[in-house]
Amino acid sequence: MNARLLLLSLALASSPALAGDAIHVSLDARMPLGQGTPALKVEILEPILGFDVKLKRSDGKVFEFKEGGRPGTTRTLPLEQPEGRFHYEGELTVRFKGAEPGTMPLSFDTELLGPLTLTVSKEDLDLAGRKLRFKLSRPAARAKLTVLVDSGWNAFDGEVKFKGEPGGTPLEVTWPKVPGKVMKISLQAYDTADFYQSVDFFPWQVDIPHEEVNFPSGSAEIPAAERGKLDRSVEKLTEAVKRYGELAAVRLYILGHTDTVGATPSNRELSLQRARSIASYFRRKGARLPTFYEGFGEQAPHVVTPDETDEAGNRRAEYIISVDDPVLTNAPFAPQWRKL
């Protein structure tokens, strides 16, 4: 994030033969808060006795500088100011040996910029509508947007122009429809001073189809007869990681569920232990990607039943490959993902 360097085209008001030859004046007009202040820079090009600067800021603050130096010297005149935009009026006087002083008028604006804030959340992302909404805390100039899909192609990679909409204005970027699922969205939003903030979203996730493991009642031990199902699931996981792992750092999430037979707390603990058993089995069989697990017990049923109902459709697990924590549409509580 670089402040723009605005050059002042200033000329001496007297001594035409020396006008513009003795000094060069430039202005660092915009600075981020905490990283310095706006400043005048006076570069001495020819021998002079010295120079004086007198300025009055739009809030009444007066600045006076008396400087000098040899040719090749640059003097930086800091303009301490509060956060915000200010106007300056004044005069620079150059003193010469054996000649009348030359003067030049000064008139410019400066701005000390507070932190640029980009406000955006997962709720602002509309994948179906292919749009992302956000707000900037200062007037908006442009945004760089990159949308990567799981085919490896970019659905969009370019700039979106804005018109200096005031800070806090709802803004939106969109992208065209292309085959595949959106895997990563990168946004860099710039204000009119060319400062920016950025954010990445990883909305991609994919469910791995599989055969359900039949655990003994009340147990998280994987029966030998059921291990073949998990071996086939490992093959599918390996294929998915091979396909998508080059595009992003993917993770595996395993969710355990039970039917409604038994107490709710014990069912949640049982589903958690079964999810961990599956995760451990996958790890032993070569699934090396980061793995997380959670148990939802009877609280997120696939088939809604009365309490104490033996329903095989609810004794299940979910295997999700994702980049970020997956979005769960029917989660009864915020998951506390345990890392294996």
pLDDT tens per residue across span 237-258: 999 999 888 888 999 999 999 9
Strand partners, 188: 144, 198
The lowest-confidence range among 10-19, 68-77, 131-140 is: 10-19
- 257: tokens are 């569920």
Tokens read off for 67: 């400087």
Q: Under DSSP, is residue 104 helix (H, G, I), strand (E, B) or coil?
A: strand
What confidence tens digit (pLDDT) does each residue in 121-158 have? 989 999 999 999 999 999 999 999 999 999 889 999 99
CB 51 within 8 A of CB 67: yes
pLDDT of residue 330: 84
- Quick one: tokens of 320? 């999700």
208 vs 328: CA distance, rounded Å:
15
Question: What domains appear along the chain, each with residue ranges and CATH number?
Answer: 5-113 (2.60.40.10), 118-201 (2.60.40.1220), 206-339 (3.30.1330.60)
- Write down the mean pLDDT value for the chain: 90
Cα separations (Å) of 123 from 53, 79, 126, 307?
A: 53, 42, 8, 34
Instruction: Give the count of beta carbons closer than 10 Å to the beta carbon of residue 179.
Output: 9
Burial class, 151, CB count within 10 angstroms (exposed 0-12 / middle 13-18 / buried 19+)? middle
- Distance between CA atoms of 235 and 248, rounded to whole angstroms? 20
Per-residue model confidence (pLDDT) at position 8: 42
Is the distance from CB of 187 to CB of 132 less than 8 angstroms? Answer: yes
Q: Is the pLDDT of residue 53 over 50?
A: yes
Tokens 């493991």, residue?
Answer: 213
pLDDT at 114: 84
The answer to whether 243 and 149 have CB atoms below 8 angstroms apart is no
Using an 8 Å Cβ cutoff, are 119 and 170 in contact?
no
Q: How far apart are CA 62 and CA 106, in angstroms?
A: 13
- pLDDT digits over 289-308, tens only? 999 999 999 999 999 999 99
Dig out the tokens for 28 from the structure.
Answer: 């660092």
At 15-46, the pLDDT tens digits run: 433 445 789 999 999 888 888 999 999 999 99
What is the edge-to-edge ordering of all strands in the sheet holding 74-78?
A: 5-7, 23-28, 39-44, 74-78
Indicate whether 276 pLDDT > 50: yes
- Taking phi over 0 as left and psi of -120 to 50 as alpha, with beta for the rest, 225 belongs to alpha
pTM for the complete prediction? 0.68
SS3 167: coil
* Cβ neighbours for 261, distance < 8 A, ≥ 6 positions apart: 267, 308, 309, 310
What is the share, in percent, of the chain residues with pLDDT greater than 70?
94
**In this structure, what token pair is assigned to residue 71?**
């040719």
Could you report the per-residue pLDDT of 81-92, keeping only the tens digit for each? 998 889 999 999
Region 207-223 average pLDDT = 92
Q: What confidence score (pLDDT) does residue 14 get?
A: 39
How many angstroms separate the CA atoms of 287 and 241, rounded? 9
